[in-house]
Amino acid sequence: MTLTTQPADALAQMRETAPLVHCITNYVAMNIAANVLLAAGASPAMLHTPEESGDFAAIAGALTVNFGTLSPNWVDGMHKAIDGAQAAGKPWVFDPVAHYASPWRAGIARDLLARQPTILRANASEVLALGGGETAAKGPDAGDEVAAAEATARTLATELGAVVAVTGATDFVTDGTRAVRIDGGSPLMPLVTAMGCSLTCLVGAYAAALDDPFDATVGALALFARAGDIAAQGASGPASFQTAFIDTLHALRPDALAAVAVTDA
């Protein structure tokens, strides 16, 4: 088996650590992502200004950078935060939301990728386009299947020396050597905005608590998959699903994660 720490143990360790996570995320995601982290058992802080982001990243357990709603001041804050995290030996996670949407955004994605993220978490269209491939997507919503991005994810993981997580109906995680697929979740998940952005912050929480970023990433994705399964059972649509999902993250016991299908790829 590819994992040293199974998702159930990973959740227990993350909750035991209750890591402070420095999340630089977009205006759309800030509220739901903070609530997702609190419900799961981590401690979120959403801040981005360059005057403090470097100092804060150094004291947090991990940094996550999502550039969904971008402006120049934020870019400066992202680079200072990465400086602070790396100087303190803390992991950082990159979420390149719709990096293909404009030339300016694409250039910033290239600059941030060159800063050696520990983990890259993105949807299939974002991963495909990072590898130079064609994508049907224009904005933050994916327009491609995860399977179409798996080969690119493997190449990127090797080139970047990072864990790459591609999310969608079946998630794919690789570090270039190890690779798994994770089934589960619900078709309601892409109908709730910023679920992926929230997941990126949760990956940061797991990366703060576990030594192995591959096991950390799989643990976070497995928790989302299982919580998505359970929350969908009682939901009548996207809005009630979002509420049920946060309640489920809070209530879910580690042994419930044994039901998640994590298979070698």
Ligand X SMILES: Nc1ncnc2c1ncn2[C@@H]1O[C@H](COP(=O)(O)OP(=O)(O)OP(=O)(O)O)[C@@H](O)[C@H]1O
User: CA Rg, the chain, in Å?
Assistant: 16
Interaction partner, residue 199 (ligand X, Mg ion, ligand TZE, none; CB < 5-8 Å by kind): ligand X
Enumerate long-range contacts of 50-54, CB under 8 Å, 24 or more apart. Answer: 50/76, 50/77, 50/79, 50/80, 53/22, 53/24, 53/77, 53/78, 53/80, 53/81, 53/84, 54/80, 54/81, 54/83, 54/84
Interaction partner, residue 254 (Mg ion, ligand X, ligand TZE, none; CB < 5-8 Å by kind): none
Question: Does 46 carry a binding-site annotation?
Answer: yes
Question: Does 121 carry a binding-site annotation?
Answer: yes
Interaction partner, residue 10 (ligand TZE, ligand X, Mg ion, none; CB < 5-8 Å by kind): none
228: contact with ligand X by CB under 6 A? yes
Sketch the per residue contact string, 74 through 113, with Mg ion: x for CB under 5 A, - otherwise.
-----------------------x----------------
CA dist 44 and 35 (Å) reads: 8
Of 13, 53, 167, 217, which one interacts with ligand X (CB under 6 A)? 167
Question: Does 40 carry a binding-site annotation?
Answer: no
Sketch the per residue contact string, 83 through 122, with ligand X: x for CB under 6 A, - otherwise.
--------------x-------------------------
Nearer to ligand X, 107 or 187 (CB): 187
DSSP state, 193?
A: T
Nearer to ligand X, 50 or 238 (CB): 238
> What are the Cα distances from residue 244, in Å, to 219, 223, 235, 249?
20, 14, 7, 9
Interaction partner, residue 26 (ligand TZE, Mg ion, ligand X, none; CB < 5-8 Å by kind): ligand TZE
Comparing CA positions, the residue from 132, 208, 218 lying closest to residue 167 is 218
Give me the residues that bind ligand TZE (CB under 6 A), please: 26, 28-29, 68-69, 97, 140, 193-194, 197
CA 134 to chain centre: 23
> Judged by CB under 5 A, how many residues of this single chain contact Mg ion?
2
* DSSP β-bridge partners for residue 122: 166
Least distance in Å: CB of 165 to Mg ion? Answer: 11
Chain length of the chain: 265
Residues in the site for Mg ion, rule: CB under 5 A?
A: 97, 196
